[in-house]
Structure 1
Amino acid sequence: MQTHDLAVPECGGAESFALMVMVMGHSMAPEFLEGEILIIEPEGLAKDGAYVLAWHNEEWTFRQLVRTKAGWVLHPLSPAFADAPLADLSAVRGVIILKALPGRRRASKFYV
């Protein structure tokens, strides 16, 4: 699941913002699907297991942040895709705190 040509809002401080997920492939299925809205906390705590928005390889990507013995990786949920190693956490630009489906309040899920 990647977002291309995404303009991240110039939010001040710790302002959260909404992002419509644009699915390209199935790298984050079944947890995250096309049409879901993600709420991103730009100043959120990027910790092991968190779902994050990152700028990696000249594009925006949405993955699970995982700490391995070798360091941090951006981990897709689908085993058909490979982990992407990170030199450090500077690529992480926000942490997903909520997902929701428009008009379906009960389908919302908090991640923090």
Structure 2
Amino acid sequence: MEAMQTAVKTTAAVKTFPFFDVTADLPSLAQDQENRITAEELLGSTSPTVFVVKVSGPSMEGAHLPNGTTVMVDPGVRHKVGDIVAGLLNGEFIIKRILKTHAGWVLHPENPSFIPYLIKPDDEFKVLGVVKGAIIKF
């Protein structure tokens, strides 16, 4: 857990990937122009503090984050109601949707087999960042 709370090291070399716009409808000729994109740009953030974590368990399947998905978390983005956040709850790392109800803040799983969790006053809870993107392996 401490490693997730420390500064993220950056490297001098940034890997870029070929990037093409294609249609999912009918086959068409490939575009002549190749663009380049970084993983950060692909997932929507170029913040140097971004980190990635692997989702463990099925509680976020309804948000298209099945077990084994790698998510990009941006600690530089202030969370809003409805965001999927990475956080620490009583020392445990969690990824849940954060909601506000009349009773208080709720960590909401995206799987009906799991129960939403109302954050209690004596809980130690800290949002580490907002989930900005995901990489799902097939």
TM over 0.5, shorter chain: yes
Counterpart residue number, 1:16? 50
Paired residues, number: 97
Q: Residue 3 of structure 2 aligns to which amino acid in structure 1?
A: A
Return closer, same or farther for 1:52/1:10 CA change in 2, 3 Å cut-off.
same
* Structure of higher RCO (CA pairs closer than 8 Å, 6+ residues apart): 1
Asked if 1:49 corresponds to 2:82, the answer is: yes
**Which consecutive unaligned segments of at least 5 residues does structure 1 have?**
105-112
Asked if 1:29 corresponds to 2:61, the answer is: yes
Return closer, same or farther for 1:6/1:64 CA change in 2, 3 Å cut-off.
farther
Q: Distance in 2 between matches of 1:97 and 1:65?
A: 14
Percent identity for Structure 1 against Structure 2: 27
Asked if 1:7 corresponds to 2:42, the answer is: no
How much is the aligned-residue C-alpha RMSD, in angstroms? 2.7
**Which consecutive unaligned segments of at least 5 residues does structure 2 have?**
9-46
Q: Which has the larger radius of gyration?
A: 2
Counterpart residue number, 1:94? 129
Richer in helix (by share):
2
Runs of 4+ in 1 over 6 A off after TM superposition: none
Counterpart residue number, 2:109? 76
Q: Residue 93 of structure 1 aligns to which amino acid in structure 2?
A: L
Q: Give the TM-score of the pair, scaled to structure 2.
A: 0.59
